[in-house]
Amino acid sequence: MFSKACEYGIRASIFIAEQSLLDRKVSLKDVAEAIESPSAYTSKILQRLSKSNIINSDKGPTGGFSMDKSELEKVKLSSIVYAIDGDTVYNGCGLGLKRCNADKPCPVHNQFKVIRDELKKMLETTTVKTLAMDFEKGLTFLKR
């Protein structure tokens, strides 16, 4: 569904968001431990998220990663997925033809469209804030 990089990206964002709700900055190490991911690889992903203005990053001592509490509910899953995996989820064809194209549809186009529209809707209506709040409450897990 998503690339591994994207999965890490979403998990990292949720963790950073949750900690930001508690007014805490987190270090790369914190993130990697919280989501159980290889830290150097995670670093690259956080850079992408930072450049896409999804998270903030500050260098130096007292530095770390954070998200603006006020903007938290504006960050949708779709932004994160787009920042890391691009638009393949939105425009890719289920059977691997160049692009999904309703004018020259692949055999599963109609069936696939239903799923993808559902997925789009989910990505565009789910905010990182709500996911972070559930995580904060201990209802969900970022590692196992």
Looking at the Cβ atoms of 59 and 137, the one nearer to a second copy is 137
- The one-character DSSP state at 26 is B
**Residue 33 binds which one of DNA, ligand FES, a second copy, none, with CB within 5 to 8 A depending on kind?**
none
Cα–Cα dist 121/124, whole Å: 5
CA atoms of 18 and 25, how far apart (whole Å): 10
Residue 44 in the binding site for DNA (CB under 7 A): yes
Does 109 sit near ligand FES (CB under 6 A)? yes
Report in angstroms how near the CB of residue 4 gets to DNA at its nearest: 3
CA distances from 116 to 11, 119, 137 (A): 22, 5, 30
Q: Which distant-in-sequence residues (6+ apart) come within 8 Å of 78 by Cβ?
A: 120, 123, 124
- Binding of ligand FES by 21 (CB under 6 A): no
Tell me which of DNA, a second copy, ligand FES, none is bound by residue 100, counting a contact when its beta carbon lies within the kind-specific cut-off of 5 to 8 angstroms. ligand FES
What track of x and - describes contact with ligand FES for positions 69 through 98 (by CB under 6 A)? ------------------------xxx-x-
| Cβ contacts of 142 within 8 Å, gap of 6 or more | 11, 14, 15, 34, 35, 36, 135
Q: Which does 140 bind (CB under 5 to 8 A by kind): ligand FES, DNA, a second copy, none?
A: a second copy
